[in-house]
Amino acid sequence: MSQEEYDLANPRWHLATRLRDVILRRWSAEVQAIGVHGSMAHGDDTDSSDVNLVVVTYRPGAGPRPALRRVDGILVDLAVTTGDEGLRRSRELTPRWPLEADRYVTVRDLFDPRGWFGTQRDGHLARLAETRPGEFSALARRNWCVASAAHARAVRLAEWYETDAALVLMAEARLHAAMVAGLLSRTYFRNRADAVRRTGLAGADMTELGAVLKAQAGDLTARGRPVDGTLAALFEG
């Protein structure tokens, strides 16, 4: 089956193209690009996949409003950004970079006459190329602090037999520990489930996760700054 035949038979692509056509009819002068990211951009979407649509406009407040709702039984996550803002964000590294990079690097365009998505991808890759290891380590330390705090609270709640709350915090701790691993190795993930799966943390219990966090603390210390420092270190750049 060709890509075109696959798209025609795929209800999510059918919906995505319908959305594109409606948007272009209503806001043709305001929209400079429309694309999809996530599983549809990777070509492995399933019946349970969402339609992650991004609309790029020329100016703020133009075009459709962001939305999250079901359409014909399919969840549509509609994001809207201006071209300038989208390019700026693609060059901004945050502690959530392991979960954000994929949407900059892997996009399938539905409408992109001027190659905006290619410009976004190139800008993001250029930012990564010029980023020093210390910047990734600093971002990883922030995630490590969140993971460590969530793990400690989960342990305490488990001791109090607050099992449901402990499970929620364990999920948070696993995710942020996975992002530490992603930042230190410059690896990005498709989504949160992919992050904990690929880092081997999906099934980690409290003891195993504690050992991972301890090892990460040692790694971060070796990279120039301990995760637990003095008061003066709190205000260092």
- The string of pLDDT tens digits covering residues 18-59 is 999 999 999 999 999 999 999 999 999 999 999 999 999 999
CA contacts within 13 A on the Cβ side of 78: 18
Quote the pTM value: 0.92
CA distance 208 to 212: 6
- The string of pLDDT tens digits covering residues 200-222 is 999 999 999 999 999 999 999 99
- Domain extents for the chain? 3-130, 133-223
Mean pLDDT of the chain: 94
Structural contact between residues 25 and 34, judged by C-beta atoms closer than 8 angstroms: no
- Cβ atoms within 10 A of the Cβ of 83, count? 18
- Choosing among 3.40.640.10, 3.40.50.850, 3.30.460.10, 3.40.50.300, the CATH entry for 3-130 is 3.30.460.10
CA contacts within 13 A on the Cβ side of 65: 3
| Strand pairing class (67-71; 74-82) | antiparallel
Question: What tokens were used for 203?
Answer: 């099934």
Structural contact between residues 76 and 51, judged by C-beta atoms closer than 8 angstroms: yes
Residue 2: per-residue pLDDT: 56
- The string of pLDDT tens digits covering residues 103-148 is 999 999 999 999 999 999 999 999 999 999 999 999 999 999 999 9
Say which residue the tokens 């305490």 belong to.
Answer: 156
Residue 3 has pLDDT above 70, yes or no: no
- The string of pLDDT tens digits covering residues 172-199 is 999 999 999 999 999 999 999 999 999 9
SS (H, E, C) 9-66: HCHHHHHHHHHHHHHHHHHCCCEEEEEEECHHHHCCCCCCCCEEEEEEECCCCCCCCC
Structural contact between residues 53 and 79, judged by C-beta atoms closer than 8 angstroms: yes
